[in-house]
Homo-oligomer: A and B are copies of this chain.
Amino acid sequence: MKISVAQINYHIGNFEKNKGLICNAIIKAKAEKADLVIFSELCIPGYPPLDLLDRIDFIEKCSSAVKEIANCCKGITAIVGSPTINPNTEGKKLFNSALVLSEGKVIFSANKALLPTYDIFDEYRYFEPEKKFSVFKFKGLKLAITICEDLWDEQHFDNEFEKRRLYTLSPMEELCKQHPDLIINISASPFSHSRIESKAEIFKTKAKKYGIPVIQVNQTGANTELIFDGASMIINNRGEMWRRLPFFEEAFVTFNTDDILSGKDPEGDLKTEHVELIHKALVTGIRDYFSKTGFRSCILGLSGGIDSALCLTLAVEALGNKNARAVLMPSRYSSEHSVKDAVDLAETLEIKYDIVSIEKPLNAFGEILEPLFMGMKSDVTEENIQARIRAVILMAVSNKYGCILLNTSNKSEASVGYGTLYGDMAGGLSVLGDVYKTEIYKLAGYINRDKQIIPQNTISKLPSAELKPGQFDTDLLPEYSILDSILYQYIELQKPADRITGEGIERATVERVIRMINNNEYKRYQAPPVLRISSKSFGDGRRMPLVARY
């Protein structure tokens, strides 16, 4: 039997587009004489559809699309993912289904049993878990059709407090009673740089355990904060990576099941360099946020610092230099090199930039606020005014030219609240909000791997917000190497304060950093969506009560 795997970038709710992509792949699969073509989880609406699933009209559009796609399946069979209505009187209204389509009909369906409801996943919000299992007999083979988490009954979490077995049921244990020949897993599995290897291991382990191949089909492309790496896997019956589809690209491959059933000639896995994948993920995230919201161009504030420099470089890669624009907004506190470094980068990247001094509005605010602040000392208020003036300018350009403001905050400063709400925290999309400062340097090094793009001075100078004379980040924060280690242990690993350790890490610093994290939940509540590259990003995957005392 010949099987095609279609790794596609879907757009949530864009049924016409998704149908077109799917039908084209069906035509291609037929041309390659495939018997079966497999698409990813919830490919019909795009993943994650979130609360659009609560709308009956949205579900009806899914059903119509399924019918149309079934009509494309002449002389070929396809597996697609779609929500379907739960016909029982009790339970959630929907199932998360894999539908087998052939000759205009749904000839088999399997519903997801394990519904991830943690981190960025909310599937039990919408779906009823399936409790019955059966294999699909096709061309002499028995296919165990599973949906993403169905194979993740055993997994390792970064937070050690989580159980390795989150579910009281193992779909594959049930399906194995029917002796399947192949495991098919349709997925919508987002990228996390710390789980690249462990994700592959999940599927390899299943193939090895049951002695049958696993075909995992993932989507690619980004939907707001979630970036799907694709990297679909064909694993042979010995648990070896027989073939891996590319990361962060659409791809299509047709193969013969005999080859993976016999376990012959595995191509092996792709090389996975973390910094390179993070780079690809962020470029994908920017590109798709713009293309899927219908915007083409971006604006950002270029300070001469490393965060905005990296952000701009990624944006130019994603959108093209004609679609990226920068504003340099020096003040009385800006160092001379800041403007020079920013101009250097803008000219290297050949993007349009303007230099707009913030002195006039700064003076104007000073004057009108004087009666209210008379006799009071200058403090963080005045620093925030500068940051907010810059946001007003950037948003004005955004509004006037119809471009999206990119937010350039990094995860380290977002964690401790080292940023101004409605100031440098503004933007339609946070590009680096899940990238710690120490990782920012690694990415900058990667950008400059062949030739210098980001100016050396931008990389080597001491980080500063330049909101008052002689200000450096380390005035308020520990060294970034120490800060990031504490943050990672507290946020990703969720360790208690007394178990956060490492070279140069003192308990008092840990306590201070944790207080800063907790005291700034309110700022992050209003932050833009953050492109997620880690296992615990700010945004929907991390939900903290604002009024907690903890």
Most buried by B among A88, A288, A393: A393
Residues B361 and A550 in contact, CB atoms below 8 Å apart: no
- Chain A's interface size range is 35 or more
Residue of B165, B361, B421, B529 touching A89 (CB-CB under 8 A): B165
Give chain B residues whose Cβ lies under 8 Å from the Cβ of A89.
163, 165
| Cross-chain pairs A/B with CB under 8 angstroms, 23 sampled | A13-B548, A13-B549, A50-B543, A50-B544, A51-B543, A51-B544, A55-B161, A56-B161, A57-B496, A86-B163, A90-B167, A93-B162, A117-B124, A118-B125, A224-B545, A356-B372, A365-B392, A365-B396, A368-B393, A376-B400, A379-B400, A381-B396, A525-B529
Residues A549 and B91 in contact, CB atoms below 8 Å apart: no
Residues B288 and A547 in contact, CB atoms below 8 Å apart: yes
Residues A93 and B361 in contact, CB atoms below 8 Å apart: no
Interface residues of A in 496-550 (CB under 8 A from B): 496-497, 522, 525-529, 540, 542-550
A231 within 8 A of B: no
A367 within 8 A of B: yes
Give chain B residues whose Cβ lies under 8 Å from the Cβ of A494.
54-56
Give chain B residues whose Cβ lies under 8 Å from the Cβ of A163.
86, 89-93
Residues A364 and B360 in contact, CB atoms below 8 Å apart: yes
CB proximity of A166 to chain B, nearest CB, Å: 6
A49 within 8 A of B: yes
Give chain B residues whose Cβ lies under 8 Å from the Cβ of A292.
547, 549
Given A12-B547, A363-B364, A90:B168 Cβ within 8 A: yes
A52 within 8 A of B: yes
Residues B360 and A367 in contact, CB atoms below 8 Å apart: yes
A384 within 8 A of B: yes
Residues A368 and B360 in contact, CB atoms below 8 Å apart: yes
Q: How far is the CA of A397 from the CA of B388 in the complex (A)?
A: 13
Give chain B residues whose Cβ lies under 8 Å from the Cβ of A379.
399-400
Residues B12 and A93 in contact, CB atoms below 8 Å apart: no
A244 within 8 A of B: no
Give chain B residues whose Cβ lies under 8 Å from the Cβ of A426.
421-422
A371 within 8 A of B: yes
When all copies of this chain in the complex are counted, the total is 2
Q: How far is the CA of A138 from the CA of B527 in the complex (A)?
A: 51
Residue of B52, B357, B400, B421 touching A368 (CB-CB under 8 A): B357
CB proximity of A316 to chain B, nearest CB, Å: 20
Q: How far is the CA of A372 from the CA of B404 in the complex (A)?
A: 16
Interface 0/1 of A376-418, CB less than 8 Å to B: 1001110011001101110111011000000000000000000
Residues B369 and A50 in contact, CB atoms below 8 Å apart: no
Residue of B223, B525, B550 touching A545 (CB-CB under 8 A): B223
Give chain B residues whose Cβ lies under 8 Å from the Cβ of A391.
388, 422
A14 within 8 A of B: yes
A228 within 8 A of B: no
Residues A393 and B421 in contact, CB atoms below 8 Å apart: no
Residues A496 and B422 in contact, CB atoms below 8 Å apart: no
CB proximity of A546 to chain B, nearest CB, Å: 5
A58 within 8 A of B: yes
Give chain B residues whose Cβ lies under 8 Å from the Cβ of A49.
545, 548
CB proximity of A300 to chain B, nearest CB, Å: 14
CB proximity of A209 to chain B, nearest CB, Å: 17
Most buried by B among A17, A49, A550: A550
Give chain B residues whose Cβ lies under 8 Å from the Cβ of A356.
368-369, 371-372
Residues B361 and A365 in contact, CB atoms below 8 Å apart: yes
A460 within 8 A of B: no
Given A161-B56, A522-B428, A372:B388 Cβ within 8 A: no
Give chain B residues whose Cβ lies under 8 Å from the Cβ of A372.
354, 356, 396-397, 400
Give chain B residues whose Cβ lies under 8 Å from the Cβ of A388.
388, 391-392, 395, 422
